[in-house]
Amino acid sequence: MAGMRSYLDHNATSPVRPEARAAVLAALDAGGNASSAHAEGRAARALIDEARETIAAALGCLPDMVVFTSSGTEANNMALKGAAAFGIRRLVVSAVEHASVLEAAAATGLPVATVPVTGDGRIDLSALDALLGAEPGPALVSVMLANNETGAIMPVAKASEIAHRHGAYLHSDAVQALGKVALRWATLGLDMMSVSAHKLGGPQGAGALVIRDGLGFEPLLHGGGQESKRRAGTENVAAIAGFAAALRAAEEPGRIEGLRDKLEAELKAAAPGVAIFAEAGPRLANTTSFALPGLEAELALMAFDLAGIAVSSGSACSSGKISRSHVLDAMGLAPELVAGGIRVSLGWNSTGADVDRFAAAWSGIAARFQDRAAA
C-alpha cells in the first residue's frame, strides 16, 4: 500500500499498546495527587499501589522494593549515585553498558573499572572475577541484562555470584529485557535492577529502580516523602498506570522470535556476506544487529527510511546522531563492520508484512551496493 511504513525500532521506543493507552487516559481523567488524603488522592494512590504490585509480581520481588522513576536513565543514575550509602569505594561496569550507566558512573567521582566483553558481546566473567579479586574493598558492579544494540543476554546470575563472593553489590540495567524475557529476582540474585515502560509498549516517562529489601540507599532527589522517601517528586500516576498495563499485556516471545528468524533468513539470502552480531548465544527474541562489510550505516538507514522502514544504528539516546557504536567496538569487530552496524528491533505490533517489506527494501539496498562494489 502506498505510503505504508514499517516501524522496526522498538528497542528505541515501542508504540503505546492499546491497553496502556486506556490506562493512561483513565488515570488522567481521574486526576488526584497520590500524596493527598482526600478521595481523589486515595484513588491516585490506589493506582500506584496496584502498578507496584503488578511489577513486583512480574519480577518476583516485594512491592516495597519497587521505586518509581521518570525513566530507566533516572533509575540507573539513582543506582550508581545512591550506592554511596553502601560505603563502596569503586564502580565496575561492563564495556557495553548504556550511556546512562557509563556516564553516571563517571559522574560519581569514584574510580571506575571496565570489564571487557567476549566476541559475542557478553561480559567476560573470568575478567570480572580477576578484577574484583585484584583490589579488595566494597564495589558496585553494573551489568545490563540484555544489550540494547545486539540483544545479547548477559549471564547476570553468574556475575552476581562472582560479585557477592568478593563482597561487592550488583546492579543490572534490565530496561531492554523487561517484558521480553522471564525475570525472577531470586534467581538473578541482584541488589538493584532498573526497568522502564516505553520499551515494552508503555508510555514514555515511567521507570523504576528495584532495590533489595533491607539495602541502604541514598536518594538522588530530595524535597518530598514520595516513594518511601527514596524518590521525591509528585508521581506520574498516568504513566505509572500505563506501565503496569503494558507489562500485563506483554506476550510470550515465540511469535516475535519467528518473525526475527524469518527476517534474518532474508538478510542472508539477499547478501550472504552479511554479519549478524551476537548470533551464536542467547539473544532477545526481537533483536537483530547486523552489517554488510563496506556498507555504511548512514547510507543504509537513509535508504531504509526512504523505503518506509524505520530501523536504527544502535542506541537511540544520542539526539538522532549516527555515531560509532561503543558496543560493537568493545566486541572487537572489524572497523568496517562497526561503521555499518544496523539494528532491527521488532515489537508487539510487528507483523509478517513488516518483515516482508523490510526484506524487499533490503534486497534492493544489498543489490545496489553489491553492483557498485563489483563495478
**Catalytic option among 25, 265, 306, 317:** 317
For residue 200, being part of any structural domain is answered with no
Mean pLDDT, residues 23-48: 93
| Distance (Å, whole) CA 131 – CA 354 | 45
Q: Exposure of 156 by Cβ count < 10 A (0-12 exposed, 13-18 middle, 19+ buried)?
A: buried
E strand spans, 201-307: 207-211, 275-276, 287-291
| Distance (Å, whole) CA 69 – CA 206 | 6
Query: Is pLDDT above 50 for 1?
Result: no
Which CATH number do you get for residue 273?
3.90.1150.10
Cα dist from 302 to 10, 322, 361, 371, whole Å: 18, 11, 11, 18
Mean pLDDT, residues 93-112: 96
pLDDT of residue 253: 86
Task: Calculate Rg over the CA atoms of the chain.
Answer: 21
* Length of the chain in terms of residues written: 375
pLDDT of residue 225: 86
User: Would you tell me how many other CB atoms lie within 10 Å of the CB of residue 129?
Assistant: 18
For residue 269, being part of any structural domain is answered with yes
Mean pLDDT, residues 257-275: 97
pTM, 2 dp:
0.94
330: pLDDT confidence band, cut at 50, 70 and 90?
very high
Query: Is pLDDT above 90 for 314?
Result: no
Domain that residue 342 falls in? 7-13+251-374
Q: Which of 62-71, 92-101, 133-142, 275-284 is predicted least confidently?
A: 133-142
For residue 27, being part of any structural domain is answered with no
Query: Is pLDDT above 60 for 347?
Result: yes
Q: Exposure of 199 by Cβ count < 10 A (0-12 exposed, 13-18 middle, 19+ buried)?
A: buried
* Alpha carbon 363 to chain centroid, angstroms: 29
Query: Is pLDDT above 90 for 100?
Result: yes
* Alpha carbon 134 to chain centroid, angstroms: 30
User: Would you tell me how many other CB atoms lie within 10 Å of the CB of residue 113?
Assistant: 17
Query: Is pLDDT above 60 for 124?
Result: yes
For residue 280, being part of any structural domain is answered with yes
Mean pLDDT over the full length of the chain: 93
For residue 156, being part of any structural domain is answered with no
Query: Is pLDDT above 60 for 101?
Result: yes
Tell me how many domains the chain contains: 1
316: pLDDT confidence band, cut at 50, 70 and 90?
low
Query: Is pLDDT above 60 for 344?
Result: yes
For residue 38, being part of any structural domain is answered with no
pLDDT of residue 43: 93
Per-residue pLDDT of 174-192, as tens digits, reads 999 999 999 999 999 999 9
Per-residue pLDDT of 211-234, as tens digits, reads 999 888 888 888 888 988 889 898
For residue 363, being part of any structural domain is answered with yes
For residue 274, being part of any structural domain is answered with yes
The answer to whether 317 is a known catalytic residue is yes
